[in-house]
Amino acid sequence: MASSRIKWKRVLLKVGGEAFAEKGKFGISFSKLSWISQEIKKVKELGVTLGIMVGGGNIWRGEIAAKEGMDRATADYMGMLATIINAIALQDVLEKKGIITRVQTSIEMREIAEPYIRRRALRHLEKGRVVIFAGGTGNPYFTTDTAAALRALEIGAQVILKATKVEGIYSADPFKDKKAVKFEQIGYGEFLQKRLQVMDATAVTLCMDNKLPIVVFNLDRPDSIKKIILGEKVGTIVKD
């Protein structure tokens, strides 16, 4: 049975906002939402306990707005609201596929989502529900990567799966440098030393301090999440 081959039974999936939009565009693509939801459903059918941290870059990028002169804290709070929009959209599509979910936000808006409460999140996970985390950490100056690392540790996840548009971690941007080399595995220290941009350094440091592995993979490849869960070599793993 597949359950006997499962490598990680409790997982935090980080999905950036770009995954919700068509390539090079902004907004929410329902075909992309359907794709993400179908990939998540395959994982849930294995019996895996799953939390999801969503980004908001398809709607708003606080860092870019700050560079244009907007107050950084204000820009970041707007970005947090964008993640909540994505979370609600993902919840709707997942539940239409029969997957029970709860959205928890670090910024309270009780009419549409639960406030993040760790014990409540753990209870939902124990009942087999998918918990979608939105609003980042609730604080400006922190990325959703860092929020993903924080929530992963809080819920006792065994790994963070970082969904991207590339096959893993490379020595340089593979879209710009054809000589870029892909790492099958890389240590936390080497990742930080090389200043690789695929994940926020604060998030990687938090994972390093708590020995939490990270797998960076291409979400556009069919069954990629399922294969990782079953222990196949997909993407790049960050660990010591």
Q: Which amino acid is residue 172, in one-letter code?
A: A
Residue carrying the six token digits 């996840």: 157
- Nearest 10 degrees: Cα torsion 152, 72, 198, 238: -30
Retrieve residue 98's tokens: 């029969």
**Cβ atoms within 10 Å, residue 130:** 25
Q: Are the beta carbons of 149 and 207 closer than 8 angstroms?
A: yes
**Cβ atoms within 10 Å, residue 211:** 9
* Parts of the chain with a pLDDT under 70: 1-4
The reported pLDDT for the residue numbered 1 is 40
The reported pLDDT for the residue numbered 4 is 53
Q: What is the pTM of this model?
A: 0.93
Instruction: Report pLDDT digits (tens) over 32-56.
Output: 999 999 999 999 999 999 999 999 9
> What is the set of domains in the chain, with CATH numbers?
2-238 (3.40.1160.10)
Instruction: Report pLDDT digits (tens) over 75-114.
Output: 999 999 999 999 999 999 999 999 999 999 999 998 999 9
The reported pLDDT for the residue numbered 223 is 95
3-class secondary structure, 1: coil
